[in-house]
A and B are shown apart, each in its own frame.
Chain A
Amino acid sequence: MPDNKSPQVTPSSVAGAGPAVTGGLADTAAAGVAVAAELAAGTDKQTSTEKARSLGQDAWRELRRSWLFWASGILLVLLILMAAWPTLFTDVDPRQADLRNHYLTGPQWSHFFQADWFGYNVQGQSVYARTVHGARASIIVGVCVTLAVTLVGGIVGMLAGYFGGWLDTVLSRLTDVFFGIPLLLGGLVLLQAFTNRTIWTVTFALTAFGWMQIARVMRGAVITQKEADFVTAARALGAGTGRILFRHILPNVLGPVIVVATIALGGYIATEATLSYLGIGLKDPTVSWGVDISASQKDLRDGPHALLMPAGFLSLTVLAFILLGDAVRDALDPKLR
């Protein structure tokens, strides 16, 4: 929306705000302001997007050279495929149980992609099929929580950082209040209220107690950026608050937020699995790694494969997201190199 408005807004604001500033200032300074204003004005339409793109391009160039990025990227593409179209990997029904023939039978490592590849669990269900189908719950929860947390935390952090004053005090104390309750504990108490728990209730609970870190990062980043010259220039040109926030400040503070969010994504997946493991996250008809690990832990002696396979995939997923986050951080923040 701001994109459409920019051609009309910028020329008028140059004309309107420019002379008003010039009146109070020495000529050279005014010229400087004008130049800055013109730059900022131009930025709105083309240079800003070009600049943002060039930062993105820079990061992309850096990312392409990192083996971490490729390794985690390929792993994640596989896992996302698994979550989206599990039938690509197996046509066995994960809920099909054959207790008489398959009770805890061990894996057949040479039977690639077949029902008995990873063996059978205590219900006589194919561990391979369940592991493949379990990817969906974890990935959806992880991605949705990350998006929601970024949105909520981002908005809170931006408002607190930009407006300051009493709003900052209130929002910062609110952040502190939520910070006092650990994610797992808050999720436990909140989810206890729902008897019919789905992926979405779990997402909601994790978002409710997960947004604070992003809010703090965002607030800090906005505070450092809002005094920058280009913001002053934009304001001098008469840009509105929304425009300054979303078109000028947001692109500049997105980097650290993206990094924190990507690294946290793996953590949300692990927390979802932990909640399911504690019997208070997802429940049985839903196929999920946490549910399977929880169900098979008492048979660890007789059939360790029923625990190790979903646990291994869970760990791989978390690892992939952490590595991706590391790679993105290295690409976006040259200081850390």
Chain B
Amino acid sequence: MGRFVARRLLQMIPVFIGTTLLIFLMVYSLPGDPVKAMFGSKAADPATVAKLRHDYGLDKPLIQQYWDYISGLFQGDFGQSFTGRPVADLMADAFPVTIRLALFAFAIELVVGIGLGVLTGLRRGKFLDQVVLIFTLIVVSIPVFVLGNLAQFVIGVKWKLVTPTVRDSQDLSQLILPAVVLALLSLAYVTRLTRTTVAENLRADYIRTAVAKGLPRRRVVGVHLMRNSLIPVVTFLGTDLGMLMGGAIVTEGIFNVPGVGNTLYQAVITSEGPTVVGVVTVLVLVYLVSSLVVDLLYAVLDPRIRYA
């Protein structure tokens, strides 16, 4: 187990370096000069431009810049945005909001998605199954920006059930609508995935054995069936947590949530290189760690999988 974790951690290093390098190169080799942009329409004083360039290290070769960035990272320094604010500060504001929203959405898809999936998987072809199937198809095919705008308009503006935008991100009741909108797409996937694996495993020999030896239905479904059926679902959910945090660009924009997605979007639009690289670096870490956790969960779920 320990050796497995160590090996996986070692394997993460090239991926981490590769991904940060990729995003770094993309952000900094783009045309457009962030230093010149600071001056707006005024003519830039060449000496000041040169000084600013030097301060941000933009006069060095790209690889050197990347090296400086990574070595700063290991000392907890995410650099400074072009507005002069440390990127770490920016992220300290944005991440708690997004983590709250993402965990809320994650909880919804976990409970509702797996619940609906198990129910429909056990009763395939019944009325509920058909309804849920159609519901998931609709959800998957309507893009999130349409869904978000409609939900905001109908539930927030017309019916006035919730506040249309998030005014206070500490207030969980204001986060309900954005969290549901954020969760819906993955919820549909989780439901369909759970339904398929439950229906498949229901025909497995070990289920017949469990029933034949007289175990109560609750135990057959709750322990024997669930443990095996959850493996693909856990795989999906693991990669999804990272997606929920980074992929909330649209949802956070619609509902005015001051989170990571919004920060990232603004940073991309305004060519705020240091902020983009910083946020993506953290998101990559989240993604890598959650895929490690998924691998470890396999062993918990499937007794046949053991990591030596």
Query: Interface residues, chain A, CB within 8 Å of chain B?
Result: 173-174, 176-182, 184-186, 188-190, 192-193, 195, 266, 270, 273-274, 277-280, 293, 297, 300-301, 304, 307, 311, 314-316, 318-319, 322-323, 336
Contact = CB atoms under 8 A, between A and B. Distances in A.
Contacts of A300: 149, 153
Given A182-B243, A274-B144, A293-B146, A177 B15 contact: yes
A315 B276 contact: no
B141 A181 contact: no
Contacts of A192: 30, 268-269, 271
Nearest to A323: B137
A174 B196 CA distance: 31
A180 B284 contact: yes
Given A182-B247, A311-B146, A314-B143, A189 B276 contact: yes
10 contacts: A173-B14, A177-B14, A180-B288, A189-B27, A189-B276, A270-B143, A297-B149, A300-B149, A300-B153, A315-B141
B280 interface: yes
Interface residues of B, number: 42
Contacts of B144: 274
B22 A181 contact: yes
Nearest to B250: A274
B140 interface: yes
Interface in B241-277: 242-243, 246-247, 249-250, 253, 264-265, 268-269, 271, 276
B138, B140, B276 — most chain A CB neighbours (10 Å)? B140
Please give me the 10 A-B residue pairs with the lowest Cβ-Cβ distance, nearest first: A177-B18, A319-B141, A180-B19, A311-B146, A193-B30, A318-B141, A270-B143, A176-B15, A180-B284, A315-B142
Contacts of B280: 181, 185
A319 B271 contact: no
Given A185-B247, A193-B31, A322 B137 contact: yes
A323 B287 CA distance: 30
User: Chain A: interface secondary structure?
Assistant: helix
Contacts of A336: 196
Contacts of B140: 266, 318-319, 322
Interface in B124-176: 137-138, 140-146, 149, 153, 157
A316 B137 CA distance: 11
B207 interface: no
Interface string B1-27: 000000000000011001100110011
Nearest to A183: B247
Nearest to B253: A278
B261 to A, nearest CB: 9
Nearest to A310: B146
B265 A266 contact: no
Interface string B22-44: 11001100111000000000000
Nearest to A266: B141
A293 B27 CA distance: 28
Interface in B219-259: 242-243, 246-247, 249-250, 253
A173 B149 CA distance: 38
Contact of A182 (B22, B138, B142, B246): B246
B265 A274 contact: no
A205 to B, nearest CB: 10
A254 B268 CA distance: 38
A315 B143 contact: yes
Contact of B149 (A174, A307, A315, A323): A307
Contact of A189 (B18, B26, B138, B149): B26
Given A189-B27, A318-B142, A323-B137, 13 more contacts: A173-B14, A178-B19, A180-B18, A186-B26, A189-B26, A189-B276, A193-B26, A266-B140, A278-B253, A280-B269, A304-B153, A316-B141, A318-B140
Interface in B33-88: none
Nearest to A195: B31
Contacts of A314: 143, 146
Given A192-B271, A297-B149, A322-B141, A277 B276 contact: no
A295 to B, nearest CB: 12
A101 B140 CA distance: 38
A181 B146 contact: no
B220 to A, nearest CB: 24
A181 B142 contact: no
B143 A188 contact: no
Contacts of B276: 189
B181 to A, nearest CB: 14
A319 B136 CA distance: 11
B170 to A, nearest CB: 27
Contacts of A316: 141
A311 B283 CA distance: 30
B200 to A, nearest CB: 9
B201 to A, nearest CB: 14
A185 to B, nearest CB: 6
A32 to B, nearest CB: 33
B143 A274 contact: yes
Contact of A278 (B30, B242, B250): B250
A174 B18 contact: yes
Contacts of B145: 273-274, 277, 293, 297
A304 B153 CA distance: 10
A299 to B, nearest CB: 11
Contacts of B18: 173-174, 176-177, 180
B116 to A, nearest CB: 18
B265 A188 contact: yes
Interface string B97-131: 00000000000000000000000000000000000
B157 A301 contact: yes
Contacts of B22: 177-178, 181
A247 B171 CA distance: 61
Nearest to B15: A176
